[in-house]
Amino acid sequence: MIELMADTGIGPVYDLGSGWGGLVIRLAQKYPDRKIVGYEVSLVPWLVSVFFKKILRLGNLEIYKKNFLQA
């Protein structure tokens, strides 16, 4: 999936059910010029994702604790 990103253009990337943040964190690191957005409804995986976002200083990554159908 990460290798396929090079062919997807320049718009934002959404992960609808981002879990522990594994994909969105890697995408944000590899593509610092693209906006990466993750949605997660479970508290603990969301907290872990936000923790790593802050530790890694990923300014292009947004992680919401929200159902994407209600966003």
Helix axis angle, 22-30 relative to 43-55, nearest 10°?
Answer: 20
Q: Give the DSSP H/E element, type plus range, for residue 43.
A: helix 43-55
Tens digits of per-residue pLDDT, 4-15? 777 777 889 999
Tens digits of per-residue pLDDT, 29-68? 999 999 999 999 999 999 999 999 999 999 999 999 999 9
pLDDT band at 19 (very low <50, low <70, confident <90, very high): very high
Token pair 């997807």 is found at 8
